[in-house]
Chains A and B, each alone.
Chain A
Amino acid sequence: MAVDAEAEFHVLAVDDSLIDRKLIERLLKTSCFQVTTVDSGSKALEVLGLREDRTTPSAVSPEHNEIEVNLVITDYCMPGMTGYDLLKKIKGSSSLKDIPVVVMSSENVPSRINRCLEGGAEEFFLKPVQLSDLKRLRPHILKGRSKDQQLQREENSNTIIISSSGSKRKAMDEEPSSERTRLRFSTGSLTML
């Protein structure tokens, strides 16, 4: 039975526009992600457990104050902290820098796009974001999860084994589980649904 790994993948969406938040939430849920939406960069940092004036998360247990976020997707143009500012804060934080960040914008400005990519953004989406755009998130999903989940890539094939437990245990702690499922992928694409 195929495991829907994206169902456990948690995306934090940041946008000051109510309509765009609703849209991105629906797009992400339709693509089987868990979603949290916030309307500002500073709220995003709160969710991530990082206050604006710090570069390390506050010293409280993660279960109480933070939810695990596997990817951040943020609008570029926001009042106060822009999406670029948020990107830099995340990438500048030792604990958060490995979280993939995607930037969205309604404006197709090459210098803006380059700036974001150079600033560490994994992808840049033009608005309005389409369902097909979200497929570009998939390479970043496995990349992000390989630190938490046990991910074994067989040498000479495209078979990937993914644990369905979804817990935050480190890979070395994980016992081989009967729930682990072997998934086969065609070359170059990951179709996990």
Chain B
Amino acid sequence: MFIYTRPAYQFCQVVLQGYLDEQFYQLEELQDESSPNFVEEVVTLFFRDSSRLVANIDQALQKYPQDFRRLDNFMHQLKGSASSIGAAKMKNECTSFREFCNKENREGCLRSFQKVKKEHAVLKQKLENYFQ
């Protein structure tokens, strides 16, 4: 029995545009009668968690700009969350950030972080549409 009310093409768009990957399909596969809101719950958790991490990184870039280990640690968590929901583009930007951390390139980190935030915001908008 189908429990999705949103049109199927809406989700496919988000995947086709590369924002989400197969992992998101896995989440949908895990949704059933016993856990009918699973996808929405995970996505909600993701945005709560990721917003906190983004704020932490923002603050760390201001207050502890040379502490690349701290930055990398936060970004490792953010990347992990993004990966768990299938947020492909965002995950890639997180990887770039970590590479800059590794090279202790602060300018690179700052630029890369802007991209991470942008992907985060776009994804949020797209998924808000998905759940309407």
Interface residues of A (CB under 8 A from B): 17-20, 22-23, 26-27, 29-30, 77, 106, 127-128, 130-131
Contacts and interface: CB of A to CB of B under 8 A. Distances in A.
Nearest to B34: A29
22 contacts: A17-B81, A18-B45, A19-B42, A19-B45, A19-B46, A19-B81, A20-B80, A20-B81, A22-B41, A23-B42, A23-B84, A27-B30, A29-B34, A30-B30, A30-B32, A106-B79, A128-B23, A128-B26, A128-B83, A128-B84, A130-B26, A131-B30
Interface of B: 23, 26-27, 29-30, 32, 34-35, 38, 41-42, 45-46, 49, 76-77, 79-81, 83-86
A128 B26 CA distance: 10
Contacts, number: 49
A131 B27 CA distance: 10
A136 B18 CA distance: 30
Secondary structure type dominating chain A contacts: helix
Nearest to A107: B76
B77 A17 contact: yes
B30 A17 contact: no
B42 A22 contact: yes
